[in-house]
Amino acid sequence: MVIAPTAPAERAAPLGIRLCGIHHGYRIGGVFTPVIGDVSLDIAPGEFVALLGPSGCGKSTLLRLVAGLEPPHAGQVLADGAPVTGPGPDRIVMFQDPTLYPWRTVRANVALSRDIAGRRDDAAVDAAIGMVGLKGFERAWPHQLSGGMAQRAALARALVNDPRLLILDEPLGKLDSLTRLTMQTELLRLWQKRGFTVIMVTHDVEEALLLATRVVTFRPRPAGVISDMSIDLPYPRHRDNPRLLALRREILVRLGHSEDW
Amino acid sequence: MSGAETTQAIGPAEAGRTHAPATPRRATRALRHIVLPWAAGPAWFVASLLTWRVPDADDFPDTNELAALFAGIGVALLAAAALRRLSARAPWMIALGLGLATWEVAQAKLLLLPRPFFGTPQDLLDVFLTDWKRLGDSLLHSLGLLAVGYTVGSTLGIATGVGLGRSRHFRYWVLPVVRLVGPLPPVALLPLAFVLFPSNWLASEALMALASGFPVTILTWSGVAAVDPAYYDVARTMGARNRFLVLRVALPAASPQIFVGLFMGLGMSFAMLVIAEMLGVKSGLGFYMQWAQGWAAYPDMYAALLVMSAMCTGLITILFRVRDRLLGWQKDGLKW
């Protein structure tokens, strides 16, 4: 696998995110439904934070607010101390679906952010494609890719821009378990190498514990933090590590699954 | 037990694959690749010979020229067969040659069909030989009229469709107008248009633009409205502005639908073209046909019809070629 020889000094510094008293909701059928109720979080630059919670609890909405795709009803999102007013190229989102543009080749998809910025940066695009192991597939159409390959292409598209914050909305949720393992390792390697901040939504407790430096658990809608724990285990972590198993049990209990374990 | 069953199940199929007599298939192959291609030329020679040797029932023009044309096509088909360029089209060429021979015998030699509504092949040839200049001129006029109206109509249609799909304000003000005017057959506006516009040409162009613009508008709108919002989110998180979202996300995402609209719009503008030329504009193929009918010159009318059909199918072919190029990314698409 080819890795771009980029000196760490050229990299943009990771972004710190602070959420202050976030409230948010949607009008569904004329009735206001609160989705997020008073969430405050402080994410240090370079952290890998996993947001855990039952599905539909508002985690994804929280990510949209951090990305700047929507403004919160109340409260503030600060990126390095400055309020977030809209989406920006230093905060890249990766969705559960690869959402590659079907009318663009893999290469043109990866080069999307370059097109938007009006820049041609072939070296960076090639490096990103090589980094996720898609060399040789540059000219393929998205419909010709497997689910795992499409998600890799989406990862390359996110990374080509050298983001300061990577926002991951269950990016591995739809992959088969083997592809998922590979992608987890890949993601971890990239985070360690590039040093950006990661906020990842998942409902897989094990995945959160394998990857994140910090796991924040949410209660169901309206979302609120129930626990916030640092995972000070060294990498690479192993699934059968007794500490990890204990943490997994603890988190499941907090999520209200004491009997299922 | 189960082993025996399996053997039995596989047995006949395998036998069919290996021991089935290969001769029928080989015979079909020979028919398709040797017999039919080499038969196409002779079919046209038969047509040529009948035209040349059987005496005409009346004084028709260009009988010998027609025989020569048939013979020339026969030679060309033999050459194509020798170059192995003629297997898929061979049955069609044979049918065409024999069909023309039948027409020639039925009308030019036996006068079986009532005249003057049904002409002979040589009548038709004569129109092309003597009146090609006026036919070509009419074709150019029609193409010119069509090009302006269709281009204006589809451009406006795409713009309106994008506006309807992307902006609530635009939708509020424009949708009622689209709903009021769009479904109206543009022909209904013809009397009004000839009064309102300073020239018949301008009136025809406006109606043709309207005719092609409506389907393009509706299909562009539906295409843009159906774009996955996640596509916009992806571009927005990378800092894309509205211009990029419209031109580089919405339009390509909606392009399969837009092409359906362009195809329908082209058909509508053909209809409008002929009507405009028959009623107001004093040139073009529609006018030529109208004029030919007025003089009971039916062969001229058939010739104009042939040219018009070639024009319409040619334009649709071009549209589909463009579509195939631009939509090569689609998993499957129909081929024209």
Give the residue, B167 or A58, on which the prediction is more confident. B167
| Chain A environment of B249 (Cβ under 8 Å) | 101
Could you state, in order of their start, the residue ranges of all structural domains in chain A?
15-90+163-254, 102-162
Average pLDDT over residues B97-117: 88
CA A62 from chain center: how many Å?
Answer: 12
Antiparallel, parallel or unpaired: β A31-43 and A74-79? unpaired
Neighbours of B55 (CB within 10 A): 7
Contact residues, chain A to chain B, C-beta under 8 Å = 64, 67-69, 87-89, 91-93, 95, 97, 99, 101-105, 112-113, 115-117, 141-143, 157, 161, 167
Identity of the residue in B230, B252, B329 whose CB atom sits nearest the CB atom of A99: B230
Mean pLDDT of chain B: 86
The stretch B272-285 carries a mean pLDDT of: 85
B:317-336 residues touching chain A, CB 8 A cutoff: 327, 329-331
Task: Please give the radius of gyration of chain B, using alpha carbons only, rounded to the nearest integer.
Answer: 28
pLDDT value of residue A147: 84
d(CA A48, CA B336): 53
For chain B, give the percent of residues with pLDDT over 70: 91
Mean of pLDDT values over A205-225: 86
Q: How far apart are CA B38 and CA A94, in angstroms?
A: 62
- Measured between CA atoms, the residue of chain A closest to residue B242 is A116
Q: Which of B238, B326, B329 to mutate to test the interface with A (most CBs of A within 10 A)?
A: B238
Q: Shortest CB distance from B239 goes to which of A87, A105, A167? A: A87
Residue A11: band (very low, low, confident or very high) from pLDDT cuts 50, 70, 90: low
State how far the Cα of B328 lies from the Cα of B336, in Å rounded to an integer: 14
Where does A132-176 have alpha helices with state H?
147-159
Work out the pLDDT band at B11, boundaries 50, 70, 90.
very low
- Residues 248-287 (B) with a CB less than 8 A from some CB of A: 248-249, 252-253, 255
Does B9 score more than 50 pLDDT? no
Q: Which residues of B touch A92 (CB under 8 A)?
A: 237-238
pLDDT band at B235 (very low <50, low <70, confident <90, very high): very high
Q: Scanning every residue of chain B, which has its alpha carbon at the shortest distance from the alpha carbon of A103?
A: B329
Q: Does the beta-carbon distance from B244 to A116 stay under 8 Å?
A: yes
Q: Average of pLDDT values for A90-100? A: 87
Q: How far is CA B113 from CA A123, B56, B302, in A?
A: 74, 14, 15
The radius of gyration computed from the CA coordinates of chain A, to the nearest angstrom, equals 18
Residue from A93, A94, A95, A116 to probe the interface with B (highest B Cβ count within 10 Å) = A116
SS3 A82: strand
For chain A, the 3-state helix, strand and coil shares in percent, each to the nearest 5, are 35, 25, 40
The pLDDT assigned to B14 comes to 45
In the three-class reduction of DSSP (H, G, I as helix; E, B as strand; rest coil), residue B290 is classed as: helix
Judged on CB neighbours under 10 Å (0-12, 13-18, 19+), B107 is buried
Selected from 2.40.160.50, 1.20.910.10, 3.30.360.10, 3.40.50.300, the CATH number assigned to the domain covering A15-90+163-254 reads: 3.40.50.300
User: Does A101 contact B239 at a Cβ distance shorter than 8 Å?
Assistant: no
Residue B79's pLDDT band (cuts 50, 70, 90): very high
Can you tell me whether residue A13 is helix, strand or coil?
Answer: coil
CB pair distance less than 8 Å for B234 and A95: yes
Between residues A53 and B141, the one the model is more confident about = B141
The label of the residue with tokens 């592809």 reads A179
Q: Collect all residues with Cβ–Cβ distance below 8 Å to B158 and sequence separation of at least 6.
A: B216, B217, B220, B251, B258
Q: Which residues pair with A27 in a beta bridge?
A: A32
At A175-209, the pLDDT tens digits run 788 878 888 888 888 888 888 899 999 888 888 88
pLDDT beyond 80 at A260: no
Q: Would the pLDDT of B249 be above 70?
A: yes
Q: Is there a contact between B266 and B150 (Cβ–Cβ < 8 Å)?
A: yes
Q: How many CB atoms are located within 10 Å of the residue B113 CB?
A: 12
A243 pLDDT higher than 70: yes
Q: A interface mutation test: which of B228, B231, B237, B245 has the most A CBs within 10 A?
A: B237
Evaluate if residue A5 carries a pLDDT over 50.
no
Task: Compare CB distances from A116 to B231, B239, B330 and report the shortest one's residue.
Answer: B239
